[in-house]
């Protein structure tokens, strides 16, 4: 597995990142551990989770994914894993208890809780899951910096933010000598381009921000499992996904899928390899985040890092997906 530097930092990560929001939800603990074993055997050493995974599922309270990873991590060589998690989401039922947001009190408390669940003494990449308009950015960045100074966090990043917020945060860090965000985790794929490309791509280029996009396979749409004659999601996640429902009714989305499938068949590779390989050619992309609920699903995508698309193939995919 190739490694890449995350933005202008010195942090080296595998060219694919393992997303774990299925752990403790659609993948039970035993299967999740097998997925982790298969990922590390394939050279994926960059693992992304969040404290809120999988709080949305009935009977879940959040923290399940972190706990599954923590029990797997126990007894293994921690130095070989780049571990990323996120903070922001409500982790209780009472907002007055400061159990959500990006305030100093919540960040510090959430970090301690994540460290406990993950059975580790540090988080390699701690990310703001999404914006908190009620908390000043300088307070958030001061809290993250304090955690770095305490040795509990190594680097910080952000997800689901606007370009102006990212640039403002970088400016605050610069003038106040605070730790800067080194990475962005946006929603980005062949069939979801405009949100990132409109402004964020230029901002990340200017600031040297490493990008680790989530849903690069569009919740399974870009694996090729759907056709114009088969538009029925086969998983609870697909049924619940507004993205999947939108794509299944989009003629352009199927045109993108047709072109991706044509290239995949000509190359003799899975459709997912082509979709991921295109993503990895885009500016600032360091490591797309790939999730799996089975080992077989993971094994279907790991070979994407070895697929080098031609200039013509990249242009065809870029043209057919323009405006999505």
Tokens in use for 71?
């029990």
Task: Determine which one of 53, 155, 181, 214 is catalytic.
Answer: 53
- CA-closest candidate to residue 85, choices 114, 56, 62: 114
Distance from C-alpha of 309 to C-alpha of 288, rounded to nearest angstrom: 16
Residues of 221-260 as b/e, b for ≥16 C-beta within 10 angstroms?
Answer: bbbbebeeeeeebeeebbeebebbeebbeeeebbebbebb
Question: Tokens at residue 10, please?
Answer: 């010195």
* Strand bridging mode 17-19 / 12-14: unpaired
d(CA 264, CA 285): 21
Query: Is 181 known to be catalytic?
Result: no
Kindly give the residue spans of alpha helices, DSSP state H, lying in 42-136: 64-73, 104-118
Pairwise CA distance, residues 286 & 288, whole Å: 7
Neighbours of 183 (CB within 10 A): 25
| DSSP conformational letter for 279 | H
How far is it, in rounded angstroms, from Cα 270 to Cα 301?
A: 8
Place of tokens 């490694």: 3
Four-residue CA torsion sign, 128, 130, 131, 135: negative
Peptide bond into 105 cis (omega under 30): no
Of 119, 29, 110, which is closest to residue 65 (Cα–Cα)? 29
Which residues, in sequence order, are bridge partners of residue 154? none
Catalytic residues: 53
């Amino acid at each position: 597995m190739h490694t890449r530097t995350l933005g202008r930092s010195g942090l080296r990560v595998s060219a694919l990142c393992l997303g774990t929001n299925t752990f403790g939800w659609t993948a039970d603990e035993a299967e999740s551990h097998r997925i982790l074993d298969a990922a590390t055997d394939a050279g994926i050493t960059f693992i992304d989770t969040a404290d809120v995974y999988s709080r949305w599922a009935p009977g879940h309270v959040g923290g399940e994914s972190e706990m599954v990873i923590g029990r797997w991590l126990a007894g293994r060589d921690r130095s070989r894993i780049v571990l990323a998690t996120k903070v922001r989401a409500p982790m209780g039922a009472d907002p007055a208890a400061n159990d959500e947001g990006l305030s100093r009190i919540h960040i510090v408390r959430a970090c301690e809780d994540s460290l406990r669940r993950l059975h580790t003494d540090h988080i390699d990449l701690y990310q703001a899951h999404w914006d908190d308009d009620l908390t000043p950015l300088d307070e958030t960045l001061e809290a993250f910096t304090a955690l770095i100074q305490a040795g509990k966090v190594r680097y910080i990043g952000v997800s689901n933010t606007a370009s102006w917020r990212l640039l403002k945060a970088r400016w605050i860090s610069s003038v106040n000598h605070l730790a800067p965000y080194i990475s962005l985790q946006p929603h980005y794929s062949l069939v979801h381009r405009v949100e990132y490309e409109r402004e964020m791509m230029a901002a990340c280029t200017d600031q040297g921000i490493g990008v680790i996009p989530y849903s690069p396979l569009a919740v399974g749409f870009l694996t090729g499992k759907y056709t114009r004659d088969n538009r029925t999601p086969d998983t609870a996640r697909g049924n619940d996904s507004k993205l999947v429902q939108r794509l299944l009714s989009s003629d352009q989305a199927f045109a993108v899928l047709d072109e991706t499938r044509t290239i995949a068949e000509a190359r003799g590779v899975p459709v997912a390899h082509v979709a991921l390989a295109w993503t990895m050619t885009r500016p600032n992309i360091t490591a797309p985040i790939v999730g799996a609920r089975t080992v077989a699903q993971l094994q279907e995508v790991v070979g994407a890092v070895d697929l080098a698309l031609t200039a013509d193939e990249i242009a065809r995919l870029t043209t057919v997906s323009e405006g999505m």
